[in-house]
Amino acid sequence: MIRINENYKKLQSSYLFSDIAKRVTAFQKENPEKKIIKLGIGDVTRPLPKACIDAMHKATDEMNDIKTFRGYGPEQGYDFLREAIAKNDYQLRGINIAPDEVFVSDGAKCDCGNIQEIFASDIAVAIPDPVYPVYLDTNVMAGRTGFYSNGRYDGIVYLDGTAENGFVPDLPSKRADLIYLCFPNNPTGATITKEDLKKWVDYARENKAIILYDAAYEAFIRDDALPRSIFEIKGARDVAIEFRSFSKSAGFTGVRCAYTVVPKDCCAYTTDGEKTALNGLWNRRHTTKFNSVSYPVQRAAEAVYSSEGKAQVKALTDYYLKNATLIRKEINALGFDSIGGENSPYIWVNGKTDSWAFFDRLLKEAGVVVTPGAGFGKCGQGYIRISAFNNHEDVEEAMGRIREALS
Ligand code: PLP
- How many other C-beta atoms are found inside a 10 Å radius of the C-beta of residue 232? 16
- 369 CB near ligand 1 (under 6 Å): no
Residue 108 alpha carbon, nearest atom of ligand 1: 15
pLDDT digits (tens, 9 = 90+) for 177-202: 999 999 999 999 999 999 999 999 99
- 198 CB near ligand 1 (under 6 Å): no
Cα 253 to ligand 1 centre (Å): 9
pTM over 0.85: yes
Cα 246 to ligand 1 centre (Å): 9
| Amino acid identity at 220 | F
Contact by Cβ (8 Å): 273, 58: no
What is the structure's pLDDT at 227? 98
- 182 CB near ligand 1 (under 6 Å): yes
Degrees, nearest 5: CA angle 150-152-154? 110
Pocket test for ligand 1, best of 85, 112, 247, 385 (most atoms within 8 A of CB): 247
Pick the closest to residue 187 from 264, 113, 132 (CA basis). Answer: 132
pLDDT digits (tens, 9 = 90+) for 279-328: 999 999 999 999 999 999 999 999 999 999 999 999 999 999 999 999 99
- 108 CB near ligand 1 (under 6 Å): yes
| Amino acid identity at 242 | E
Pick the closest to residue 196 from 215, 183, 207 (CA basis). Answer: 183
Q: Which residues pair with 387 in a beta bridge?
A: 346
Residue 17: pLDDT above 90? no
Residue 258 alpha carbon, nearest atom of ligand 1: 15
Q: How far is CA 371 from the centre of its chain?
A: 16
Residue 182 alpha carbon, nearest atom of ligand 1: 3
What is the structure's pLDDT at 144? 98
Cα 406 to ligand 1 centre (Å): 32
- 215 CB near ligand 1 (under 6 Å): no
Residue 34: pLDDT above 90? yes
